[in-house]
């Protein structure tokens, strides 16, 4: 896959999608290290940074292993960082998900750098999109948006993440308005396939 600026983006599937970008960035750590490292070798990419979209286990499961293997810096949303470090408990939208989260915990990983809304890091602009989790953040690189679960793909277009796993689905929906007017062409979601950003408009509440 190619974004408008010509960076190459490799999708590696796992518990969630991981995207390996040829600028040395890995977005999310839900794919097994062996698969990520094989792709990096094949593409000649040296992974320098692991950028996390939010604290859910399917996005951070392999961050610690990958950090150890590559020496990459881990970058994560400020509001989700302590959960990712294993120093705080995730907030769950309901008791069932709370029980699931207690069982399926990711190993804590050192977060080297916390990002806030609007910050630019490694050429990516952080867009804080709370709702799915408190810190949920999408990352914009030129016209490519890595959305984590702030917006996912269903039926070839944009969809809200499952309500059951989202802290506040109404807030998640309101957060989508932040994506209007950013010149995004393609969205690379945490689940499903990349899709055209034009399909977002039906979800954005004005």
The contact set with Zn ion (CB under 5 A) reads 56, 149
Cβ at position 8, least distance to Zn ion in Å: 26
Give whole-number Cα distances, 77 to 4, 50, 193, in Å: 26, 12, 23
Structure tokens at 135: 């810190």
Using H for helix, E for strand and C for coil, what is the string for 94-117?
A: CHHHHHHHHHCCCCCCCCCEEECC
Between strands 144-148 and 137-141, the pairing is antiparallel
Considering beta carbons, is residue 148 or 157 the nearer one to Zn ion? Answer: 148
80/149 with CB nearer Zn ion: 149
Shortest separation between residue 12's beta carbon and Zn ion, angstroms: 17
Minimum distance, C-beta of residue 108 to Zn ion, in the bound complex (Å): 17
CA 12 vs. chain centroid, Å, equals 13
Cβ 4 to Zn ion, closest distance in Å?
27
Closer CB to Zn ion, 56 or 128, in the complex: 56
- Whole-angstrom Cα distance, residue 148 to residue 29? 11
Query: Among residues 26 and 60, whose Cβ is nearest to Zn ion?
Result: 60
- 3-state DSSP assignment of residue 118: coil
């Amino acid at each position: 896959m190619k974004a408008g600026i010509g960076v190459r983006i490799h999708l590696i599937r796992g518990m969630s999608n991981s995207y390996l970008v040829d600028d040395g960035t890995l977005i999310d750590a839900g794919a097994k290290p062996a698969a990520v490292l094989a792709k990096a070798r094949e593409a000649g990419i040296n992974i320098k940074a692991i950028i996390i979209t939010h604290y859910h286990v399917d996005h951070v499961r392999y961050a610690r292993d990958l950090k150890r293997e590559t020496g990459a810096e881990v970058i994560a949303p400020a509001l989700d960082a302590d959960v990712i470090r294993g120093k705080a408990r995730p907030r769950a939208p309901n008791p069932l998900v709370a029980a699931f989260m207690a069982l399926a915990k990711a190993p804590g990983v050192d977060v080297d750098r916390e990002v806030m809304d609007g910050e630019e890091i490694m050429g990516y602009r952080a867009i804080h999109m709370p709702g799915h989790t408190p810190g949920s953040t999408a990352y914009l690189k030129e016209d490519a948006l890595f959305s984590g679960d702030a917006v996912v793909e269903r039926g070839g277009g944009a969809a809200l993440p499952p309500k059951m796993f989202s802290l506040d689905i109404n807030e998640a929906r309101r957060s989508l308005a932040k994506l209007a007017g950013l010149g995004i062409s393609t969205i690379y979601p945490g689940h499903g396939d990349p899709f055209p950003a034009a399909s977002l408009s039906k979800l954005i509440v004005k």
